[in-house]
Structure 1
Amino acid sequence: MKSAEDVRTENLEAIIRDMAGGSVAELARITGKDPTLISRWRSKNPKTRKVMSHQTAREMEKALKLPMNWMDQDHTATALPDAVPVVAYHPEEPLEDGEIEIPAINVLVGAGNCIHTEPVREERRFRYSTEWLQRYGLRPDKLIRHKVRGTSMEPFISDGSWITVEMGTTQIVDGNVYLLRYGSQISVKFLFRRYDGGLIIRSFNPSEPDVVVPIQDLEHIEVLGRVVESTNMLIKPVK
C-alpha cells in the first residue's frame, strides 16, 4: 500500500503534467508556492527532499480548485489490471457504434417513508453499450433512470443515487428490488411474496420496519418495474 507521502508526490507530478504544462515555474505561479520548494517535494534525493505537509496539500487543492483531500487520494486506479477508464463526453456528441442512451426521468423516487416524487434539478443522460444490454437480456426501450431520495435503502442504494429500472417487469421474484407505487407514493423496495398471497415491502436499512400488505389490499400496490442497477455517488457536488 502506498504511503500518504507517495500518493501526494504522484499527484503533484500529475498536476505539473496536466495543469501546469510540465512546468514547475507555471505551477509556482498558479499556486503562489516557491518553485524551489516544489522541486524539493519532487526530489528523489533524501537529503534534499521535503515532505509536503497536510496544510500545504489543502492549500494546493484550494489554489488549483481541486476537491478537498484530492492530494491524498490515489488516482492511478486505471493502471490496475482490467480497469476501464472513465471517458467524459459532451451531451451533443453523437453516440459511438454499439452505444445507446437511457433517458433519465425528471422525478425523484422515494427510498423512505412517506416520500413523494418531486422534480430533479439535474440533467443527466446515461450511455450504455449494446453488449452490456445483451449480456443481461435487457431491452433499451424498457429502461429508465430515476434519482432516489431517502435513506431506507442505505447503504445498498444511497440517498441521491441513480437507479436503472426495467419498466414493465412486474413479476415478483423474492428478494429483488422494484419500483412501486403504493397509494400516492413511488418507492424503491425489496419485495417478497407472503404464504397467504400478500406482500412484504422491505427496506435495506434495518431501522425501517417491514410493511405487510394483505392480499385484499394488493389492489393499492402497483409494481412499475424491476431495479437492475444503481449508481451511488460517494462525494458531494463541488458546485
Structure 2
Amino acid sequence: MENLVLEMKQETGTHPSVERLLEASGLNQEETAKLLDESPQTITNWKKRGISKAGALKAAGKFNVSANWILKGEGGKPDSTISKVEEWDSSTPVDDDEVEIPFYKDVLISCGSGSLTEILGNETRKLRLSKSTLRQYGVESSNAYALTAFGDSMTPIINNGATVYVDVGKTDIIDGKIYAITHGGLFKFKYLYRMPKGAVRIVSANKDEYPEEILTVEDMIDQEFEVVAYAFNVQNPLP
C-alpha cells in the first residue's frame, strides 16, 4: 500500500490526500483554501507532505466527506449532500429525509452591480434539500431558500448562474462569511465584516473589478443597507 501511495505521489506530483480534498471540494486550490480559511501556500505544502489531520477534519465538516477518506482513501467517498438537491414537481414524492424549500430561480440576485427586484411575492419553484444538509449547517427548514446568482463580483466562489442556499434566520454578521444583502434597493452576495462603531465592510471575491466598501451607521440608513440572509452553500454551474 505504501508503495502504491508513493507511486501515485510521484506520478501526479500531488499527495493523494490533497487530490481527494480537491475532489471533495470540486474547486481549485485557491478556492478550496478560501473555503477552509487557509492560505493557498498551506495547500501547496499539503501537496508535498499530505494534508494535516486538523485540515482533514475541517474539510470533512465543510465538504461532508469522511476525514479518514481524505487522509487515507479508506471507507469510500460518501455521496455529496449537494447531490441530494434536485428540482421536483407536485407529482414527485418527497422522501422522509427531504424538505421542500422555495427556489427563486428567476429572481435576479446580483453578484455584480445589483438588480432592482422584489424577492417576496414572486412565484417560486421548489427544490428538495436533505434534512441532514440542513442539520449540518444548523438551518431551520422554514428559513431555507435557494436563489440564483448573476454577475461576477463573487467569482470564483459564487459564479454567474450559481444556485445559492441561504438562511434568512441568520442575519448577524460573522466576519468573512457570505451574506445576501440589499443595498440601495439592489440585491447582492458579499463577504461582510463588522467594523468599529457599528460600521460594516463589504467585500467582493473579485476585488480587482469590485473595490470594497465601508458603510457607517449613517451610510447604512441613507443607502438602505440590510442583511437579508446568510449564504450557507452554493452549487456552481459547470464551465
**What TM-score do the two structures reach when normalised by structure 2?**
0.58
Residue 110 of structure 1 contacts residue 117 of structure 1 at CA under 8 Å; is this kept in 2?
A: no
Is 1:223 the equivalent of 2:227? yes
Residue 87 of structure 2 contacts residue 126 of structure 2 at CA under 8 Å; is this kept in 1?
A: no
Give the counterpart letter for 2:212 in structure 1: D
**What TM-score do the two structures reach when normalised by structure 1?**
0.58
TM-fit CA distance, 1:113: 2.0
TM-fit CA distance, 1:184: 1.4
Is 1:95 the equivalent of 2:94? yes
TM-fit CA distance, 1:144: 0.8
Matches within 5 A, 1:95-114: 95-105=94-104, 106-114=106-114
Q: 1:93 to 1:205 in 2, by over 3 A?
A: same
The CA distance in 2 between the partners of 1:178 and 1:200, in whole Å, is 12
The CA distance in 2 between the partners of 1:193 and 1:181, in whole Å, is 16
List alignment gaps of at least 5 residues for structure 2: 1-7, 9-74
The CA distance in 1 between the partners of 2:79 and 2:176, in whole Å, is 30
Matches within 5 A, 1:8-23: none
Is 1:150 the equivalent of 2:154? no
The CA distance in 1 between the partners of 2:114 and 2:93, in whole Å, is 40
Which residue does 1:176 correspond to in 2?
A: 177
User: 1:80-106, CA deviations, whole angstroms, 9 ceiling, x for partnerless residues?
Assistant: 922438577852211011111111124
Q: Which runs of 4+ in 1 moved over 4 A?
A: 85-90
User: 1:90-138, CA deviations, whole angstroms, 9 ceiling, x for partnerless residues?
Assistant: 522110111111111241101012433489xxx8532122122223221
Moved more, 124-133 or 218-227: 124-133
The CA distance in 1 between the partners of 2:88 and 2:196, in whole Å, is 51
Which residue does 1:84 correspond to in 2?
A: 79
User: 1:204-226, CA deviations, whole angstroms, 9 ceiling, x for partnerless residues?
Assistant: 01211001112211222111111
Q: RMSD between aligned alpha carbons?
A: 2.7
The CA distance in 2 between the partners of 1:117 and 1:149, in whole Å, is 13
Which residue does 2:59 correspond to in 1?
A: none
Is 1:116 the equivalent of 2:116? yes
The structure with the larger Rg is 1
Corresponding residue to 1:211 among 207, 210, 213: 213
Give me the identity figure in percent.
29
Matches within 5 A, 1:135-146: 135-146=136-147
Count of residue pairs the alignment pairs up: 155
The CA distance in 1 between the partners of 2:186 and 2:197, in whole Å, is 25
List alignment gaps of at least 5 residues for structure 1: 2-79
Give the counterpart letter for 1:167 in structure 2: V
The CA distance in 2 between the partners of 1:135 and 1:152, in whole Å, is 27
Give the counterpart letter for 2:108 in structure 1: L
Residue 178 of structure 1 contacts residue 227 of structure 1 at CA under 8 Å; is this kept in 2?
A: yes
Which residue does 1:131 correspond to in 2?
A: 132
Higher helix share: 2
Give the counterpart letter for 1:213 in structure 2: L
Q: 1:209 to 1:95 in 2, by over 3 A?
A: same
Q: 1:147 to 1:118 in 2, by over 3 A?
A: farther
